[in-house]
């Protein structure tokens, strides 16, 4: 019972402290780690915890969900223009960072070659959670699509750092030849990528045909998907982290039912995973060991920040014609984080024979990185002129629909529309509905009741959101290629009076039909029925 009480206190403290760090712009990771150290052996509560094996297992599971949701939350439309740059940074950039960091340790600190290379591999990835906790707390919108570049790079470079760490651990253990190492690298990437595509496509196809009978089961299902995306490729020698990230991207950018509730669920769930992993790492550390490696760790952290990371970024991005100031910001935004510490735990558990305290060295470098870079990231972005407050200062309509029970509706004024030529004050709107914007030629021309509606205007209306307990069932009907309904109007379709076609899904289009709308092959008709059930069925005709 006392353990449950301690866990409860820790969760409350993490939530309260995260609010403070959000205001001052320090990554919440730092707060969670410090709390763990305060509870640890040299802290206030003197909890002795040194189980590296258990820590590795827990942290691995937590990283699976963090990686999966990192992909799930990536907007591919925004990320696509910078996908090449991010992919090069996440692959070649990681290898270059690992090699340069190893060289720094060999030349400046006279560390053994294998220790240096292993340390370089462990520190070669950046931490997305730390970067974006600072950007979002300061509401920093970044020019040149830099935020998407950092997001994709930070989300996808952990699998490559993991692969390098596994390969070097095999070398250190004398378990692999050169040819085997090359095959191991290819197998990691190939199996991980293939498994991710197969899993994502199968899950997406299944979700199109199956609806969950009990509310909440979709959350449990996606937890299983995240675990499967890691466990399956890992079991056959693939890169599980890469697979989890790609599956997240594919599913997150697919049209899923109740996606908003999934996003809210994973927001909370991954926040809990971050609390768990960061607190546990702080609890595992022994602060009294840090003074012994503080000087060497500080040297590595400084050279990594101001020499190694900038060199890797400029080598990767200069040929792609990225601007100088963008490359400087990307260089400074290379925060080290939880993944590096987890890989250090993995090396410790697998018995890496090193002459240095690998775990506490990495732990100290991560603390220095998130404290120094994390605190200065916002000022550096402003100093470089990379901030654009118009990108992130104002919320979009969809941001508010996530918070309140309100929807925004886009109404097109076509030629001959009943509202055409009328003033706003002369139009009768249903109760609780309001015109909030009138777009004409891409500009808002709404000025008051005298505003006239013209052909091709887009009228944005606000209205109360539909509540799920109102007893409306939606049923999908797929129009097969040989269906007799092809070419007929929607007015002819409904066989019963209580049915109404409310929407047509046609490829990437969403169409709100009228009676004259023609039915085409492969249309998906969404039909409302008066019923007491709430789930969405799917039929083919």
- Whole-number pLDDT of residue 392: 47
- Whole-number pLDDT of residue 224: 95
Tens of pLDDT, residue by residue, the chain (541 residues): 477 887 888 888 888 887 776 666 566 777 888 889 989 888 887 888 888 899 999 999 999 998 898 888 888 887 888 999 999 999 999 999 999 999 999 999 999 998 999 999 999 999 766 665 666 656 667 888 888 898 889 888 999 999 999 888 888 777 666 677 788 888 999 999 999 999 999 999 998 888 787 777 889 999 999 999 999 999 999 999 999 999 999 998 888 877 778 888 888 888 888 888 889 989 999 888 889 999 999 999 999 999 999 999 999 999 998 999 999 999 999 989 888 988 999 988 887 767 678 899 999 999 999 888 888 888 898 899 988 765 544 443 444 444 456 677 888 888 888 899 988 888 888 777 888 888 888 788 887 888 889 988 988 888 776 655 455 667 778 888 888 889 888 888 765 566 788 888 888 788 888 778 899 998 888 887 654 444 445 555 5
Cα angle 6-226-211, degrees, rounded to a multiple of 5: 110
Count the Cβ atoms, other than its own, within 10 Å of residue 414: 11
Cβ–Cβ < 8 Å for 86, 156: yes
- Whole-number pLDDT of residue 76: 83
Q: Are strands 500-506 and 509-511 parallel, antiparallel or unpaired?
A: antiparallel
- Whole-number pLDDT of residue 242: 93
Residue 85's alpha-carbon distances to 164, 179, 231, 316, 538, in angstroms, are 20, 29, 29, 8, 41
Count the Cβ atoms, other than its own, within 10 Å of residue 419: 17
Two tokens at 500?
């109404």
**For residue 240, how many C-alpha atoms fall within 13 Å in the half-sphere facing its CB?**
20
Q: How many angstroms separate the CA atoms of 43 and 279, rounded?
A: 13
Q: How many angstroms separate the CA atoms of 185 and 162, rounded?
A: 11
What residue has token string 């891409």? Answer: 442
Whether the pTM exceeds 0.75: the reply is no
3-class state of residue 479 by DSSP: coil
Cα angle 297-300-301, degrees, rounded to a multiple of 5: 85
Q: How many angstroms separate the CA atoms of 184 and 192, rounded?
A: 12
What residue has token string 């607190």? Answer: 279
What residue has token string 């085997």? Answer: 180
- The helix-helix angle for 259-284 and 338-349 (nearest 10°) equals 60
- Whole-number pLDDT of residue 226: 96
- Whole-number pLDDT of residue 360: 92
Two tokens at 263?
């996003």
Cβ–Cβ < 8 Å for 119, 296: no
Q: Which residues of 493-529 are buried (b: 16+ CB within 10 A; e: fewer)?
A: beeeeebebebbbbeeeeeebeeebebeeebbbbbee
DSSP string, 497-525: TT-EEEEEEETTEEE---TTPBP-TT-EE
Cβ–Cβ < 8 Å for 388, 394: no
What is the torsion angle, in degrees rounded to the nearest 10, for the CA atoms of residue 445, residue 447, residue 453 and residue 459? 70
Output DSSP code: residue 142.
B
């Amino acid at each position: 019972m006392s353990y449950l009480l301690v866990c409860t206190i820790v969760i409350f403290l993490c939530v309260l402290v995260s609010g403070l760090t959000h205001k001052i712009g320090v990554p919440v990771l730092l707060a969670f780690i410090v709390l763990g150290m305060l509870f640890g052996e040299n802290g206030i509560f003197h909890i002795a915890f040194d189980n590296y094996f258990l820590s590795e297992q827990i942290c691995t599971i937590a990283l699976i969900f963090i990686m999966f949701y990192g992909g799930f939350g990536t907007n591919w439309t925004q990320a696509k223009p910078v996908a090449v740059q991010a992919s090069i940074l996440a692959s070649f950039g990681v290898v270059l960072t690992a090699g340069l960091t190893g060289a720094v340790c060999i030349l400046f600190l006279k560390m053994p070659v294998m220790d240096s290379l292993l340390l370089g591999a462990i520190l070669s990835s950046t931490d997305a959670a730390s970067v974006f906790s600072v950007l979002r707390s300061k509401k920093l919108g970044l020019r040149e699509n830099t935020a998407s570049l950092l997001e994709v790079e930070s989300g996808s470079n952990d699998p490559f750092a993991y692969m390098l760490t596994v390969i070097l651990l095999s070398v250190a253990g004398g378990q692999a030849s050169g040819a085997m190492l090359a095959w191991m690298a290819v197998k990691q990437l190939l199996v991980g990528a293939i498994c991710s595509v197969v899993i994502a496509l199968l899950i997406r196809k299944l979700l199109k045909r199956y609806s969950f009978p009990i509310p909440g089961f979709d959350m449990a299902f996606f937890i299983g998907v995240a675990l499967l995306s890691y466990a399956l490729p890992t079991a056959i020698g693939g890169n599980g982290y890469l697979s989890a990230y790609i599956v997240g991207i594919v599913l997150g950018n697919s049209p899923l039912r109740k996606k908003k509730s999934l996003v809210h669920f994973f927001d909370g769930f991954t926040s809990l995973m971050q609390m768990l992993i960061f607190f546990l790492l702080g609890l595992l550390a022994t602060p009294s060991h840090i003074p012994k490696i503080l000087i060497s760790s500080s040297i590595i952290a400084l050279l990594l920040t101001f020499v190694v990371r900038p060199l890797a970024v400029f080598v990767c991005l200069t040929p792609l014609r990225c601007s100088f100031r963008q490359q400087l910001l990307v260089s400074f935004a290379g925060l080290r984080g939880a993944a590096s510490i987890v890989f250090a735990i993995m090396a410790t558990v697998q018995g890496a024979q090193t002459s240095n305290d690998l775990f506490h060295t990495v732990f100290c470098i991560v603390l220095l990185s998130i404290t120094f870079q994390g605190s200065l990231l916002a000022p550096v972005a402003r100093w470089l002129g990379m901030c654009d407050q118009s990108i992130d200062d104002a919320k979009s309509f969809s941001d508010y629909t996530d918070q309140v029970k309100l929807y925004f509706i886009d109404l097109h004024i076509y030629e001959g529309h009943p509202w055409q030529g009328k003033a706003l004050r002369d139009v009768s709107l249903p109760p609780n509905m309001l015109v909030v914007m009138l777009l004409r030629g891409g500009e808002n021309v709404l000025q008051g009741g005298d505003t006239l509606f013209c052909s091709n205007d887009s009228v944005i209306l606000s209205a109360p959101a539909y509540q799920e307990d109102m007893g409306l069932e939606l049923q999908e009907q797929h129009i097969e290629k040989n269906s007799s309904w092809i070419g007929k109007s929607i007015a002819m379709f409904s066989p019963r009076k209580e049915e109404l076609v409310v929407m047509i899904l046609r490829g990437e289009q969403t169409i709100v039909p009228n009676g004259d709308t023609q039915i085409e092959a492969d249309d998906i008709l969404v039909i409302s029925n008066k019923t007491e059930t709430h789930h969405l069925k799917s039929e083919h005709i």
